[in-house]
Amino acid sequence: MNTLRFPFDSIPEFGTVLPVAPGVYWLRMPLPLALNHINLYLLEDDDGWVIVDTGMGGEDIQRYWQQIFDGELSIDTVNRVIVTHMHPDHVGQSGWLCEKFAAPLFMTRAEFYAARVMYGIPEGLSWTTEQYMRRNASSEQRIEAARDSKFRMSHMVEPIPMAYNRMRAGDVIQIGGRDWEVMVGEGHSPEHACLYCAETGVLLSGDQIIASITSNVSVMPMEPEANPLADWLRTLKEFLVLPEDTLVLPSHNRPFFGLHERIDQLVTHHEDHMLALEQACVSAKTLPELLPVIFKRTLDDSQLGMAQGECIAHLHLLMDRGLLQRELREDGIYWYQTMDADLPGKSLSDSYRGDDAPQMV
């Protein structure tokens, strides 16, 4: 059963805004992905505006921002730039916006420092990343491609501001006479901020809760033994304390009602993925053999890293639950095998079909 409701028929064109709640305007910026947009929000403050998330780096996005500043809201004062998390579509224009308006940046501590690290990583292949790739049975060709790659994360963002104001879970920020409480989700990124206004019943959910896609939850080479799916599921359930009639304003796709239903769907989605992997691991498997269990489409090179990271995240939570064992064999590759005595009695939910491909956000 899917009872999500989408209250807005129209979607804002790039460079325009749409009012969606008292003092809240919705806008979109393009993304160069299959998922072709990010949602950003403008909050009306007493004597200016607060920007929530900023779009990818690049001049195209800056032109759309300028259209918005010159448009119906005629924005000439920005009091704060709030960034939910460190991914490039969210933090990308923070440096440009903070500079332009001499506005302070607001982020959680882990997100700010993660951003400063991520966008400073040099090109080339570290031995730790190479080890991660080899243990997960990446092809020689992919390892060589990674070694030769000139790609750097810093190409996706404007320079990150040199200073920030720390937000933490439970903080209350006053914007336009209303209280917005900071809620933190983990697993998609280290300390992802969401903002909840009880007075108007609005949740700015970022990438934590999105209607029709599941955010990427990945084990990355920088922390190869991480267990981000445990963090993700634990913090996701904390949002169940909010009322069911909360208007959820996410970073992708459309605003919706049906918060509790959506959280249930997300939990079920990941539990099903884990069970499908367990079933596949009745005989020992390597990572490349497990990707088709949860991703039904043939993956291209651009999707493979995210797919691997996401698959490993599910395997690590199974290991943490004592349901799966991992063995580093003489071939230098991890092999996974189920050790769940109750497996025969478990079944996937009726709705389970796996995913087409990993989400790139």
For 243: left if phi > 0, alpha if psi spans -120 to 50, otherwise beta; the answer is beta
Q: Token pair 């497996």 is at which residue? A: 343
In sequence order, what are the beta bridge partners of 324?
338
Q: Which stretch binds Zn ion (CB under 5 A): 171-179, 201-209, 296-304, 307-315?
A: 201-209
List the end-to-end C-alpha distance of the chain, in Å, as a whole number: 25
Contact residues for 62 (Cβ-Cβ < 8 A; gap 6+): 93, 96
CB of 192 to Zn ion, least distance (A): 8
Position among 111, 158, 191, 207 found at the interface with Zn ion (CB under 5 A):
207
CB of 51 to Zn ion, least distance (A): 17
Contact residues for 104 (Cβ-Cβ < 8 A; gap 6+): 80, 81, 98, 163, 164, 165
Count of CB atoms situated within 10 Å of the CB of 130: 15
CB of 48 to Zn ion, least distance (A): 27
Does residue 87 touch Zn ion according to CB under 5 A? yes
Task: Please give the Cα distance from 242 to 227 (Å, whole number).
Answer: 26
CB of 156 to Zn ion, least distance (A): 12
158 exposure class (CB count in 10 Å sphere: 0-12, 13-18, 19+): buried
SS3 211: coil
CB of 40 to Zn ion, least distance (A): 13
Nearer to Zn ion, 129 or 214 (CB): 214
CB of 189 to Zn ion, least distance (A): 6
Q: Which stretch binds Zn ion (CB under 5 A): 69-77, 151-159, 203-211, 290-298?
A: 203-211
Nearer to Zn ion, 118 or 290 (CB): 118
Nearer to Zn ion, 80 or 87 (CB): 87
Does residue 53 touch Zn ion according to CB under 5 A? no
Nearer to Zn ion, 28 or 87 (CB): 87
Nearer to Zn ion, 218 or 246 (CB): 218
Give the DSSP H/E element, type plus range, for residue 181. Answer: strand 178-185
Nearer to Zn ion, 98 or 193 (CB): 193
Binding site for Zn ion (CB under 5 A): 87, 207
